[in-house]
Amino acid sequence: MEWQAAGGGFCQWQHSTAGGQPGAAQGRGGTGRVLGAFAQRQPEDNAANFHQLFAWHAEGKLKPLVSQTYPLEEAGAAIEKLGQRQAVGKLVVLAR
């Protein structure tokens, strides 16, 4: 598995393309599915991971790729882009 830092101190993983890992051929990640189970089974380790991610964010070590921003009125367009798998990096919907 490969861990990647994502925007705002959140993390995501994706399977390696080697070794026939499930999901590798489809290019699917498992952000919620696996991390949710990890957080339930190992809450102290999960909290430590998030503390480290937030520290890296505060130090400027995390640089999320924001490919596009949308005003709140165009949130539907952002969701559509995600649904069509056209987003590269993060899409940000501005609430103000």
Top-ranked range on mean pLDDT: pick from 9-23, 27-41, 54-68: 54-68
pLDDT of residue 19: 43
| 21 pLDDT more than 60 | no
Q: How confident is the model at residue 14 (pLDDT cuts 50, 70, 90)?
A: very low
Residues sharing a CB contact under 8 Å with residue 72, sequence separation 6 or more, in sequence order: 93, 94, 95
Q: How confident is the model at residue 22 (pLDDT cuts 50, 70, 90)?
A: very low
DSSP string, 52-88: HHHHHHHTT-----EEEEEEGGGHHHHHHHHHTT---
Structure pTM? 0.46
| 35 pLDDT more than 80 | no
